[in-house]
Amino acid sequence: MSNFSSADTEKLSQLLGKELDAYEQIRKLTETQTELLTRDDIDAFDSSLDKRAKLIEKIKGLHQESDPLMQSCVSLSADGKSSNEEIDNLTKKIREVLEICNDLNEKNITIMNEKTEEQTKKIDEQSAKRKGIGGYAQSVPNTPEIFDKKS
């Protein structure tokens, strides 16, 4: 595929631009998710994950369309023909946004793990308290005669 026309370059540039836009939206959603996790707003967090999943599906579609064009572009660059600066810049920006998203995701996972540990401790404490109360409750008679007597 050595015939990589200017129309192909334009089409690839448009597709990469759309991908970059979708990745930027994911970055913003991921930043919002950090705030939502910090505030314990799980419903909004779940909604944000749904929006993110839709964006990922959009990106997959764009990538399927852009991948053959990118392969042709890369093979031309490997053959010593000049590469397209605009396409190179777009792919560089996409990589940068992906790195930011990765860092934010790692931060969110850390927050979620901390929240999970915190909730697990609370559940364990409640369970221990119930066992303690259960021991006292067994020693108190609960026959109806005691409660039904009028004093």
Backbone angles phi, psi at 140, to 5 degrees: -95, 125
Instruction: Please report, as a single letter, which amino acid is at residue 4.
Output: F
pTM of the complete model: 0.73
Distance separating alpha carbons of residues 96 and 90, to the nearest angstrom: 10
- Residues near 47 by beta carbon (within 8 Å), at least 6 away in sequence: none
pLDDT, tens digit, 9 for 90 and up, residues 16-34: 999 999 999 999 999 999 9
Quote the mean pLDDT of the chain.
85
- In the predicted structure, residue 11 carries a pLDDT above the cut 50: yes
pLDDT, tens digit, 9 for 90 and up, residues 103-151: 999 999 999 999 889 888 888 888 777 776 666 656 555 666 655 555 5
User: Hey, where are the domains in the chain?
Assistant: 6-140
What's the distance, Cα to Cα, between the start and end of the chain in Å? 100
Q: Which CATH number fits domain 6-140: 1.10.150, 1.10.132, 1.10.8, 2.30.30?
A: 1.10.132
